[in-house]
């Protein structure tokens, strides 16, 4: 696709490819990889001028970087929660002291973050926060409660936590956005959640009087800050995500050709539909790239890619027929099971329409905030 690159942009793209070719094959651990990216200035390209240690890049250059990174097969990022979610939130709502304290370590890949939003029993209703934070005599907060489905919490140094700081408040009121250090023995406990895939990217996090010194946006403004953060989940990263989707689709098509499933007209139609919908997602992402103020854009994007990826997982096993039920290696009772790429895609994508806000929640947001339909009753506020 022609983005209208200038000669300078082409130099930037060539530099990216050369740098990744030199460093991406080294098998570095996730944290060391983040620090490698940070030292070269590749974290936080879209933050603008600020002296945080990152390069400054145009929106077009950010797209080039994200897509070339995805195409290169470089290691999965563990610092994206700090870079893509917390950092833009601090730039929009944080104090100068908070920016100076937290943005440079994120840009250098030295501090990793996780997101403390979801809670047991609340489903995707983010306003049903029961985690509490009480103000201590020294002006800090003591956080008590539980968060769940916390991505990469077992690797994180910090967690941004939505907690209720006003006693007896309900729903969206009385919430604050707190920055909590994870290294607090006896006060912060992380328990990995083993999934169907056998992996444990998600965790439960228990806070028992955990100390939090920083409040972003001021006490009681947590809901506004949290909603602002959710809006940052679309944009350049969405286009990079679609590069990975395209690679997965190509593998499914290849499997369909090898198995002969492509001769089935129903399968062919589903494969073509997946390809066409992926193109629609790309054009939608480009349409909304860099825009703001569209309350429905993040929800539309989530609905599009969540359902698409789940259907791709179903196709991945369908085109292989009965062989899709057998693992890549012979299994013995009591031994851990292994999955091949298609099986992992099928099982993990079952969660795509739930995490990050379920499809039902996204449709409610579109109905209420975009279409202006009557609001869904949520109890007494």
Annotated catalytic sites, by residue?
233
Classified as helix, coil or strand, 228 is helix
CB atoms within 10 A of CB 336: 7
**Cα separation of 380 and 377, whole Å?**
9
Helix (H) or strand (E) holding 9: helix 7-23
CA dist 54 and 212 (Å) reads 27
Q: Which of 237, 202, 258 is nearest to 84 (CA)?
A: 237
Report how far apart, in Å, the C-alpha atoms of 339 and of each of 175, 298, 330, 361 are: 42, 32, 11, 31
Strands 175-181 and 203-212: unpaired
Main-chain phi, psi angles of 160, to 5 degrees: -90, 125
- Please compute Rg for the chain using Cα positions: 22
Of the candidates 229, 156, 226, which has an alpha carbon nearest to the alpha carbon of residue 192? 156
Burial class (CB in 10 A: 0-12, 13-18, 19+), 75: buried
Residue 231 DSSP SS3:
helix
| DSSP 8-state class, residue 265 | H
Please give the structure tokens belonging to residue 363.
């449709």
Q: Identify any residues that bridge with 210 across adjacent strands, giving them in sequence order.
A: 143
How many Cα atoms sit within 13 Å of 352 on the Cβ side?
22
């Amino acid at each position: 696709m022609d983005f209208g690159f200038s000669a300078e942009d082409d130099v930037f793209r060539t530099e990216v490819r050369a740098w990744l070719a030199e460093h991406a094959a080294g098998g570095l651990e996730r944290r060391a990889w983040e620090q490698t990216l940070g030292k070269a200035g590749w974290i936080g390209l879209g933050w603008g001028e600020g002296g945080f240690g990152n390069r400054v890049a145009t929106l077009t250059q950010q797209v080039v970087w994200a897509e070339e990174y995805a195409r290169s097969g470089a290691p999965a990022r563990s610092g994206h929660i700090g870079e893509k979610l917390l950092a833009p939130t601090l730039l929009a709502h944080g104090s100068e002291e908070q920016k100076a304290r937290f943005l440079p370590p994120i840009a250098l890949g030295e501090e990793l973050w996780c997101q403390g939003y979801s809670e047991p029993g609340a489903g995707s209703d983010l306003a049903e926060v029961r985690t509490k934070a009480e103000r201590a005599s020294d002006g800090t907060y003591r956080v008590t409660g539980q968060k769940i489905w916390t991505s990469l919490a077992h690797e994180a140094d910090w967690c941004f936590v939505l907690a209720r700081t006003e006693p007896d408040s309900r729903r969206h009121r009385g919430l604050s956005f707190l920055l909590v250090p994870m290294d607090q023995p006896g006060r912060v406990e992380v328990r990995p959640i083993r999934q169907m895939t056998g992996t444990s990217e998600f965790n439960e996090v228990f806070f028992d009087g955990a100390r939090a010194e920083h409040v972003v946006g001021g006490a009681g403004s947590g809901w506004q800050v949290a909603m602002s953060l959710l809006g940052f989940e679309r944009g350049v990263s969405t286009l990079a995500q679609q590069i990975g989707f395209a690679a997965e689709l190509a593998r499914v098509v290849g499997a369909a050709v090898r198995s002969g499933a492509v001769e089935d007209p129903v399968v062919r139609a589903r494969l073509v539909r997946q390809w066409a919908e992926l193109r629609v997602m790309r054009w939608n992402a480009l349409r909304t790239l860099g825009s703001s103020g569209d309350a429905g854009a993040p929800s539309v994007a989530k609905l599009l890619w969540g359902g698409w990826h789940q259907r791709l997982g179903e196709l991945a096993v369908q085109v292989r027929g009965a062989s899709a039920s057998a693992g890549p290696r012979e299994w013995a009772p009591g031994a851990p099971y292994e999955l091949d790429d298609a099986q992992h895609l099928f099982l993990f994508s079952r969660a795509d329409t739930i995490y990050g806000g379920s499809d039902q929640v996204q449709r409610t947001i579109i109905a209420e905030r975009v279409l202006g339909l009557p609001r869904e009753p949520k109890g007494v506020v």
